[in-house]
A and B are shown apart, each in its own frame.
Chain A
Amino acid sequence: MKRKIITALALIFILFGIGSWIAVHNMTKTTADLRSLIALHEIEDIRQELNLAAQKMMSYANAPAERFRNNIDDIVRDMNLFTGTIAKCQTCHHEATIQQELELTSSMGVEFETQFSLMLATDQESDWRKQNQKKTLLLGEQIIERVQGMVNRAAVTIRKQTDLAMQQIDHSYTVLLVTFGVTFLIAFFIAQYLTHKISRPIEALSTAAKQITAGSLGYQTDYKATSDFAGLIMAFNEMSRSLAEKELENKNLTGNLQQKVRELKMAQKQLVEAEKMTALGTFAGGIAHDFNNILCGIISNITLLKRRDDTSGEARSLLETIEKAGFRAASLIQQLLTFARQEVGEKIPLSINEHITNVLKLISNSLPPQIVIQMKLAEDLPAVLGDATRLEQVILNLVLNARDAMPDGGSLTITTRKVQLDEGDAAANPDISPGSYVAISLQDTGIGMNETVLARIFEPFFTTKPFGQGTGLGLAMVHGIIRGHHGACTVTSSLGHGTTFTIHLPVTDEKADLGRDKENSRIFTSGYLE
């Protein structure tokens, strides 16, 4: 575009320059010719003056002698004018032919002056005077004739030069008019062209800018520029596209950030929960240990008392009651220790599906008929490394909790599957490390829990059951057992819709040892389950 503008301006300048040069050249030539013409007119004035002076001298020469007596000074003055005019003529002309003619005229003038002087010196009529008068008149006529001839020739020349000058002036006017006209037209068309070439892209860019301002990031103008604006429009479209991409990226980043914030909050919550559970475990473990020692002493002494012979039957009955209470207390202490110490037995590779099936077979008769159990167990589920007894205890506890949550019946769906947990999952739950897990979900359609209950569900001795119907150690023990397996137990619940417990147990590469698995599988059916 810049090149086009420069080229256009240069074209206008060149055209105008050429036209002006021609016009100025013509004007200069015309002016020079006019000056020459003016000079010719001035010369013509001199010729006329010479002619007049010659005529005047002729009138003097024709006059009688008496007339000279008192006005000879006038004659002298006019003769000086006459000869002076001839001299002036000679200073004007430089052309050889005219110069020669003027020199001849000048010599004739000198002769005329001499002859006139001879005539003038005699102020009385005489032959001598007549003779000189005749010669003077003849010379005068010759001079006048010559001057007249020069005047006539000069008039022709002047007329020709005048015509030529007028033609040149007309030509100059024409050239000037044509130059101005052509330059104006070209300038007009160039201005139109440049305006079109500049305004259209600017309008397109303006429209695009308004669209972007209005929020249409990524708006692309479809104007097809062929000039420098093509690059500008391309850059503008690229800028718009880049803005749109950046905006999308920002949205993603914002979403990710929000997700991270949520995850962080969840992790914080889990961490707090874990810390809380750890603190409770430590606290409960310490108390349980001491109580366990105390109970050992109590139960041992009761046993000793019962063995004594002197113990009456009534007393023995009471001791048995005390002993039973002691064993029940010991059972509670054991559950508390299980929660607190997260103690598990020997871990072996086992198939969790099999143990779930075993547990359900064991308690199916004790579940009310209104409760429908659905099993969705993954077939090729990998083995997990765990204590079979403890894990069956966990599943049994969760199934019984579901039963209690569905007093009017419902469905319990038990699902197993293999899952891959990543860093995000690990960040959301401090008990989890990235890796492969077997996920076990128990989803009931029971009464569900509110947030307050949900937050304390794994605390020891926390129960929603009426006093005396539960110890509040079942889910705490579940939590402790699962943590003892380096797994995680999470719960989600919606009040009135049901609760879902999900257990994640790390997968082992080893195959499940079914023989040992069955051997180690045993359910404490009394004293443990609530």
Chain B
Amino acid sequence: MPAPTLPTHRFFLVAAAILAVIAPLPCWAAEHLSVGLLAESNVFRQARHYEALLRRVEEKTDIVLTLRIMSNADLLEKGLADRTLDAAFVEAHSVARMLQQEIITTVASPLYLDGSSSSHSKIFTLSDSQLTTAAESIGKPFALVNRSSATGYLYPLAWLLESGITDRENLFFTGSHDGAIAAVLDGTAKLGAASSTVYEIFFKEHPENRKRLRIIATSNPIPDFTFCMRTDLNQNLIKTLGDTLRSLHLDPDNEQILNDLNLLGFIPANQTGFRFVLELAAKAGLAPGLQPPAAPR
């Protein structure tokens, strides 16, 4: 009598059936993503608004999103590089640099309330200041944003360098665009540089101070913060999040969330704008090798 054999064919049939059931499920079904954010204005308000945004995206995608506030651009970039962060709202300069390293891919860009999807860098001083040119700023305290900002860092550097000013002794980082504006307003700095987007928002909230500043230089359009994801993540995941962000404006329930962010919505990211950022970095005297400038005061 022959020995009984295992019904292997049945085993495979059952396994195939199970796979047939679970295969259609998204592979990121239980995905947890950490999303980094670098402060560009009031960090607490920003955190609240972005937290609301992520919760809404979470509802629509079943992807668990955790917001992580980064104290500086280096930590943000490092987090994406060592995969402690999966995605981030990133300033243009950081985007440009990480795109070069193929650490990230751009997923969605903001569409501002005025219909634009980019900002300008504004260099400003007090209205009663006699400053009108970069040359006159020599020796004057100059408030910048941070190293990852194209509008708050690259353009002012380029503007100074264009006038032959290489002295960076009087430059200092405020860490945020509204910090740079505040520093000029309270007299800590004689000049400041910030994103036109934040600038408008700031004076929308403090209209009494608008006339106290005078713009002395404005850049060409520069991509603003952009939602980026690590390139090594599942492409479906990247697509899902991108599609979700880009379709938020279609749902009236999301209007308040977007309004709090001063956005109409998100649009597909245009990576070509970041070439200009790299060019701007070059004009600012920053080598393509991502060398940071000397530490400001």
Contacts and interface: CB of A to CB of B under 8 A. Distances in A.
28 contacts: A69-B71, A72-B70, A73-B68, A76-B43, A76-B47, A76-B69, A79-B44, A80-B47, A80-B48, A83-B44, A116-B44, A117-B43, A117-B45, A117-B176, A117-B178, A118-B175, A118-B182, A120-B175, A121-B43, A121-B174, A121-B175, A121-B176, A126-B297, A127-B188, A128-B179, A128-B183, A128-B188, A131-B188
B39 interface: yes
Nearest to A135: B186
Interface string B39-74: 101111101100000000000000000011111100
Nearest to A121: B175
A118 B176 contact: yes
Given A118-B174, A118-B178, 7 more contacts: A69-B75, A73-B69, A114-B42, A118-B176, A124-B173, A127-B188, A128-B179
Nearest to A123: B71
Contacts of A80: 44, 47-48
Contact of A117 (B39, B68, B183): B39
Given A118-B176, A121-B174, A122-B174, A113 B42 contact: yes
Interface string A50-83: 0000000000000000001110110010011001
A123 B72 contact: yes
Contacts of A113: 42, 44-45
A111 to B, nearest CB: 11
A346 B45 CA distance: 165
Contact of B175 (A123, A127, A131): A123
Contacts of A68: 71
A138 to B, nearest CB: 14
B88 to A, nearest CB: 14
A121 B39 contact: yes
B172 interface: yes
Which of A80, A116, A124 has its CB near the most chain B CB atoms (within 10 A)? A124
Closest 10 CB pairs of A and B: A121-B175, A121-B176, A123-B71, A122-B175, A117-B42, A76-B47, A72-B69, A117-B43, A79-B44, A69-B71
A127 B172 contact: yes
Q: Chain B: interface secondary structure?
A: mixed
Contacts, number: 76
Interface of B: 39, 41-45, 47-48, 67-72, 75, 143, 146, 172-176, 178-179, 182-183, 188, 295, 297
B75 A128 contact: no
Nearest to A131: B188
Contacts of A70: 71
Nearest to B70: A72
Nearest to A84: B48
Contacts of B174: 118, 121-122, 128
Contacts of A121: 39, 43, 146, 174-176, 179
A72 B71 contact: yes
B42 A126 contact: no
A70 B47 CA distance: 16
A109 to B, nearest CB: 11
B172 A126 contact: yes
Size band of the interface chain A makes with B: 20 to 34
A118 B45 contact: no
Nearest to A112: B44
Q: Chain A: interface secondary structure?
A: helix
A439 B4 CA distance: 158
Contacts of A72: 43, 69-71
A118 B179 contact: yes
B249 to A, nearest CB: 26
Nearest to B69: A72
Interface string A91-115: 0000000000000000000000110
Contacts of B71: 68-70, 72, 120, 123
Contacts of A79: 44
A128 B179 CA distance: 9
B194 to A, nearest CB: 12
B172 A117 contact: no
Nearest to A116: B44
A83 B47 CA distance: 13
A45 to B, nearest CB: 23
A122 B173 contact: yes
Contacts of A83: 44
B68 A122 contact: no
A83 B45 CA distance: 10
Nearest to A73: B69
A126 B174 CA distance: 9
Contacts of A124: 173, 295
A122 to B, nearest CB: 4
A500 B45 CA distance: 153
A483 B107 CA distance: 165
B82 to A, nearest CB: 14
A122 B179 contact: yes
B67 to A, nearest CB: 8
Contacts of B67: 73
Contacts of B188: 127-128, 131
A429 B188 CA distance: 163
Nearest to B183: A128
B295 to A, nearest CB: 8
A305 to B, nearest CB: 180
A44 B172 CA distance: 44
Nearest to B48: A80
B152 to A, nearest CB: 11
A124 B292 CA distance: 16
Contacts of B178: 117-118
A73 B70 CA distance: 8
B181 to A, nearest CB: 10
Contacts of B143: 128
Contacts of B70: 72
A72 B42 CA distance: 13
Interface in A368-417: none
A114 B174 CA distance: 13
A80 B178 CA distance: 20
A116 B71 CA distance: 13
A127 B41 CA distance: 19
